[in-house]
Structure 1
Amino acid sequence: MKVYLNTRRKKTYTPRIYFSPKDNEPPRWIRFVEIGGFLVLTAVLVYIVFFSGIFNIKKVNIVNAEQVDIQRLEQKIKEKLSEKKGVFPKNQILFFINTEEIREHILDNFLEVKEVSLEKHFPDILKI
């Protein structure tokens, strides 16, 4: 007769380490450089768009305006563009011009005009 002893082995728990936080983390100065670089890049872009004048409208081209006084029309458009709304001169920057508002302004002030189309031409031209 054979005697069997309890030969089952106990399972021991060995924790698995999927990553070591210290090994995979970049040094702190690299993170600082990344965040600082992003903030500097954002500040430069805001300066270029809002304050540098690169995207300010410098020329207004009026095309196919036979029955309208072009100087008067251009003067009214420049008056509308020079209006300030808040801190920034929104109507002078090409990206923020509300073309629908300018179109309505032209149609209201010039009764002989039946149709108006506005086009923005990069970087600083508004074509009417």
Structure 2
Amino acid sequence: MSFIFRRLFSTTSSTMSDAAQKKAQQLIDENAVVVFSKSYCPYCNNTKRILDGYDAKYKAIELNQIDDGDDLQNALQKLTGQRTVPNIFINKVHIGGNSDLEAVVKKGKDGKKIEELLKEAGAI
């Protein structure tokens, strides 16, 4: 009996993981800027303040406020190697976390300043 339960649970976990990976990728693909966040996280709140300072349009996904938040966070770890939040994407490119965004603001990324990245994404 336990073998059947483990087999069923394993299949269900895999299916949930696949669904979460598809959902995460869809959110990244459909939004110029997406921030996977937790509402209580000070680094996430700082990231949103930075983006608000540029009047950027972005989608914030509060992982702690949705039913599949843990699954999405696991999917993002598989996708990016990063488990922590915020997990930021601009124009489908993984930026990283809050300190990575701060570095882009100060120094740019691939020779582009934050304003240029946001404009190219259609977020400002």
Report if TM-score (shorter chain) is over 0.5.
no
TM-score by length of 2: 0.34
Specify which structure has the higher proportion of helix: 2
Greater gyration radius: 1
